[in-house]
Structure 1
Amino acid sequence: MNKLGLIVLTAVVAAGVSFGSFKIMEHNLEPVAEQDGKGNVKFISSHAASTSAADYPDFTQAAGTAAQQVVHIKVQLSGQSANSMSQGYQGAPQQSAPVMASGSGVILSQDGYIVTNNHVVEDATDIQVVLTDKRTFQAKLVGRDPNTDLALIKIDVSGLSPVKIGNSDEVQIGQWVLAIGYPFSLNTTVTAGIVSAKERSIGIIGSKRQENDQEENQPAGSAVEAYIQTDAAINPGNSGGALVNANGELVGINAAIASQTGGYEGYGFAIPVNLAQKIVDDLKKFGIVKRGMLGVSFPSPATEDEVLKQRGISPGSIKGVYITGVQEGSAAAAAGLKEGDIIQRIDGNTVNSSVELSERIARHHPDDQIKLSYLRQGKTENANATLKGQPSETLATNTGPSLNEIYNKLGAKFAPLNSQLKQYYQVNAGMVVTAIARGGFFEQIGIAPGSIIVSVNGTQVNSPVELNKAFINAAKGTVRVACITPDGSKTIFNLSLGA
């Protein structure tokens, strides 16, 4: 899996050529659907010819119903946005003029609310929705959340048939599912497969410019990846489409594939509907996502085993999430959690990984109270924690750069400074730079991983929440950053976070 490229699934089209299908054609892979001269979709079975159809469940009713509740989304992008989206496809032509892109969406209400992926609409200058009956509507962006790759749009219509919402917590590995969408701008396409895994973190959110695997500690409540993995065929253009169970109930929003070619290779990923519902409800009510924060840090999935070994702990002996840091003034600190505690349950639900912990917390709002069960020195402890809020990360309108855009511009990732580094550098606060992305501001001025950000505009930063707040407050002005490089040198640099 580490060698596979992780690809968002918007099909970018210019001059009649799909970037997604460019790679498919180049490698002569068999498509899952093809278009005849009349524009109709013909499905191609991926099952062996010797297998009897009687061995498989009948999906006709589920497919027939759910397919009517998935829409085709067409967006216009600036040339710069299109170039960024096409970087995953070698040989794709670079565009300077506005181009069209294509994705999918799922109808949530009779009056025209539709959920899709953030990466489908985030850079759109125009959004069009095409229903299965070919009616086309102008859509407005209600809000979007880069941290979960979800967005909510609205069309002015009534009498639509909304999808029936399932329960992604009840989805089982090996269960049959259908992926429904508009790959390569074809008519509605339905493919079948099974759930291959749950609670997958693949490091794709924000990874256009940043490498996630280099990060040792990550705060609960930032980027949230807890994907349902499926082998149902998913291709570019399926972004925002539906993953439904055999009853036609929505269990996920299709978002990404892992592939060496840009096309389907058996690894598709969908955002669980239980998480998606909380996000879209917030976007509908507030225009932003109100995210509850626990205030703990833990190893990323890619570094967890190594971090535990460094602390003398056998990775196989841990059942739960090992806490590597607790932010001062956080909900976790108020509840009495400490570094070294192992969170095992939230609200009675077993938590086996940092992915599950992040997803469970992400379902909550500020001021929500959660019940925690954790292990401390071999003894089970229980506590109630009242979650705190964080600066708004999701903007309903483009009134200024979001945190996602700010961090992309910086081209860096950060983690809280542990007590050993504070002592070594003789500082009371700071955030350590854990990764530098090519082309970002930090790379351009020579800031290396391991550098310490001590303050922003004269305000000390000691947690992700404080760093986020400092950048949000300075989003439209000049930022003065005090930094200590890995060799101990002190430097101050200025940058503008505006457009």
Structure 2
Amino acid sequence: MKQAIKQFLVLGCVALPLWLPVKTLAQAPSSFPDFTQLVEQNHQAVVNISTTRTERRNAPPQGQIPPQFRGMPEEFLRHFFGFDPRQESQPRRGPERRAQSVGSGFIISEDGYILTNHHVIDDADTIIVRLSNRKEYQAELIGSDPRTDVALLKVDAEALPIVQIGNSDNLRVGAWVLAIGAPFGLDYTVTKGIVSAKGRNLPDDSYVPFIQTDVAINPGNSGGPLINLDGEVVGINAQIFTRSGGFMGLSFAIPIEIAMNVVEQLRETGQVARGYLGVQVQEVTSDLARSFNMDSPRGALVAQAFPGSPAERAGIQSGDIILKFNDKLIEKSTDLPPAVGITPINKESEVLILRQGEEIIIRTQLAPLDEMASGSSRAAPAMSSEVLNVMLRLVDEEQLKTLNIPFGVEIEQVREGLASRSGLIQGDILVSINFQPLRSIEDVDKALKAVPAGQSVPLRVIRNGRSNFIALTLE
């Protein structure tokens, strides 16, 4: 093994481009950024945040009744055996304990406003902020937003050092970035890396297009700033992907403009109101793009516009492809929720859509975000579709009402054929084929037989209460 390593090193030396001019080799180190000025410029505005909260763990239930005594009268059990059935299933109140956690933050105003993550201060009884000069302040929580994982604190101080706020829109993939924080409680630790990707969507975080970096981030870095080479904060370090509990090369930061939108609302009202358009969207795949006669996949395909929503009232329909929302280009479906979420409610918005090959501008007013629920399914007698090779049954009126759809047919059984090869499964409800409504089972084969062989058409499907489009290619 040692011999093999030795050979590798020697070969590596031989492989060096000896013809390379000395000047080029000498210039290479100078292209590496000098982070010292960035650290000196920003470290005083970075703070350590420690929190304490009270936790009470319940003790096991007291006075468990042995099986042989169960069913006896309560008075009998209490008098002769000392068992109280009323307390058997009730856990005892265990001892209280004080839990502590550590995170990071940064000062955004001279009068003491501080940004950090919601999860750093969640459920905290007390929040202590320590500055770089070791002064400590008890912080007031102005407000926080779990959806974006942003929290705003305030300390009673003046003339504090502050960071410069940048704009992550100007950040390019491959650019150098710097993080300052307190990993594992080690104050003012500096790490660096590059931007690996932008606009990352993580599970349960549809309102945050994360900045992905390879900056070393560990527990305790949460809430600290991500800084570009101009010395501006472009993000808040928030999450890592890990299998070990520590850094593995995948770190995620909240874009600073998302955070500052939250800050503005928290300072004004103490809470965050998020815009609601009322559409369920899906990605435009290559197959779907061909079926919609698009040159390339782009935009967010509207699978459903919820009844009574701003989208439905404005005329947005299932099958529309949203290409632009106000000034934001929608390249993929995950671009839409953040663009809608940061738009003020009751403000008119412009939506550029593609509808059957024609671009249309629709104007709408967003409403406050509201949770929508959808139901599940059932139906009546089945018939066969010759083209799809499936058994279908018409969806009844009650189920249509539950699913908020005007018509549809449900797949009861899938055999080997076009349906199975296209990914259709039992329980799928077919609503339209190539925008032709399916009001009866006969409409399915009628619509499919009108499509030339080899052509892809969009098929609208309701699966598990959610509306989607599938590209169906006729054979």
- Which structure 2 residue ranges, 5 or more long, are not aligned? 1-25, 58-94, 380-393, 405-426, 428-463, 465-475
Runs of 4 or more off by more than 3 Å in structure 1? 50-53, 78-81, 311-317, 414-425
CA apart distance, 1:100: 0.6
Residue of structure 2 equivalent to 1:173: 173
Q: Structure 1's 113 and 61: CA in aligned 2 closer, same or farther, altered over 3 A?
A: same
Match of residue 399, structure 2, among 421, 426, 430: 426
The match for 1:329 is 308
1:384, CA displacement in angstroms? 1.6
Question: Letter of the aligned partner of 2:33 in structure 1?
Answer: P
Distance 1:204 1:138 in 2: 32
**Which consecutive unaligned segments of at least 5 residues does structure 1 have?**
1-49, 82-94, 206-222, 392-402, 404-413, 432-449, 451-485, 487-499
Describe how 1:311-390 pairs up with structure 2 within 5 A: 317-390=296-369
Deviations 1:127-159 (A, max 9, x none): 110111111100111111111111111111111
Q: Is the 8 A contact 1:112 1:156 kept in 2?
A: yes
Paired residue secondary structure (1:328) = coil
Q: Secondary structure at the match of 2:187?
A: coil
The alpha-carbon deviation at position 52 of structure 1 amounts to 6.0
Tell me what 1:106 maps to: 106
Paired amino acid for 1:232 = V
Match of 1:115 in 2: 115
1:426 deviates by 2.5
Contact 2:225 2:233 in 1 (8 A): yes
- Deviation of residue 204 (structure 1)? 5.2
Task: String of CA shifts for 1:42-99, please: whole Å, max 9, x gaps.
Answer: xxxxxxxx99642311222222112221110001133379xxxxxxxxxxxxx97221
- Could you tell me how far apart the structure 1 residues matched to 2:344 and 2:336 are? 15
Q: Is the 8 A contact 1:183 1:237 kept in 2?
A: yes
2:100 and 2:181 map into 1 onto residues whose CA distance is 17
Give the direction of change, closer, same or farther, for the CA distance of 1:281–1:76 in structure 2 (3 Å limit): same
Cα shift at 1:232: 1.0
Question: Quick one: distance in 2 between partners of 1:427 and 1:204?
Answer: 29
CA contact (8 A) 1:320 1:343 kept: yes
Contact 1:225 1:355 in 2 (8 A): no
Report 1 or 2 for greater relative contact order, CA contacts < 8 Å, sequence distance ≥ 6.
1
| Secondary structure in structure 1 of the residue aligned to 2:202 | coil
1:185-204 correspondence to structure 2 within 5 Å: 185-203=185-203
Mapped contact 1:275–1:362 kept (Cα < 8 A): no
1:241 aligns to 2:241 (yes or no): no
- Match runs of 1:68-467 below 5 Å: 68-79=44-55, 97-203=97-203, 205=205, 223-299=206-282, 317-390=296-369, 416-417=374-375, 423=395, 426=399, 428-429=401-402
* Cα displacement (A) at 1:430: 6.0
In structure 2, do the counterparts of structure 1 residues 51 and 202 end up closer, same or farther at CA, with 3 Å as the change threshold?
Answer: farther
The normalised TM-score by structure 1 is 0.61
Q: Is the 8 A contact 1:234 1:268 kept in 2?
A: yes
Q: Which amino acid aligns with 1:155?
A: V
In structure 2, relative to structure 1, the CA distance for the partners of 1:253 and 1:314 (3 Å cut) is farther
Give the C-alpha shift of residue 277 in structure 1: 0.7
Shift of 1:327: 1.7
Cα distance 1:389–1:204, how it changes in 2: closer, same or farther (>3 A)? closer
Deviation at 1:188, TM superposition (A): 0.3
Flag the 1:108–1:420 CA change in 2: closer, same or farther, 3 A. Answer: farther
User: Counterpart amino acid of 1:388?
Assistant: A
Assess, with a 3 A threshold, how the Cα gap between structure 1 residues 64 and 315 changes in structure 2: closer, same or farther: farther
**Which residue of structure 1 aligns with residue 38 of structure 2?**
62
Distance 1:204 1:296 in 2: 17
Q: Percent identity?
A: 39
C-alpha RMSD of matched pairs (Å): 3.2
**8 A contact 1:203–1:225 mirrored in 2:** no
Change beyond 3 A, Cα 1:56–1:343: same
Distance 2:245 2:204 in 1: 14
The AA in structure 2 aligned to 1:158 is E
**Residue matched to 1:438:** none
Query: In the alignment, residue 187 of structure 1 is paired with which amino acid?
Result: D
Shift of residue 305, structure 1, vs aligned partner: 5.6
Distance in 2 separating the partners of 1:63 and 1:190: 8
Cα pair 1:181 1:190 within 8 Å, conserved? yes
Q: For 2:125 and 2:32, locate their aligned partners in 1 and report how far apart those are by CA, in whole Å.
A: 44
In the alignment, the residues of structure 1 paired with residue 346 and residue 204 of structure 2 have an alpha-carbon distance, to the nearest angstrom, of 29
- Displacement after TM superposition at 1:225 (Å): 2.5
The C-alpha deviation readout for 1:412-436, integer Å capped at 9, x for no partner, is xx754599999455252469xxxxx
Structure 1 residue 292 displacement after superposition: 1.5
Aligned partner of 1:322: which letter? L
Q: SS at the partner of 2:401?
A: coil
1:20-55 per-position Cα deviation (integer Å, ceiling 9, x unaligned): xxxxxxxxxxxxxxxxxxxxxxxxxxxxxx996423
Structure 2 residue matching 1:278: 3-state secondary structure: helix
Write the distance in 2 (CA, Å) between the matches of 1:52 and 1:109.
Answer: 39
Q: 1:419 to 1:332 in 2, by over 3 A?
A: farther
Distance in 2 between the 1:305 and 1:316 partners?
12
Whether the aligned pair in 1 keeps the contact of 2:275 and 2:369 (CA below 8 Å) is yes
SS of the residue 1:235 aligns to = coil
Structure-1 separation of matches of 2:292 and 2:119:
39
Q: Which residue of 1 aligns with 2:387?
A: none
Report how far residue 329 of structure 1 moved: 2.1
CA distance 1:96–1:269, change in 2 (3 Å)? farther
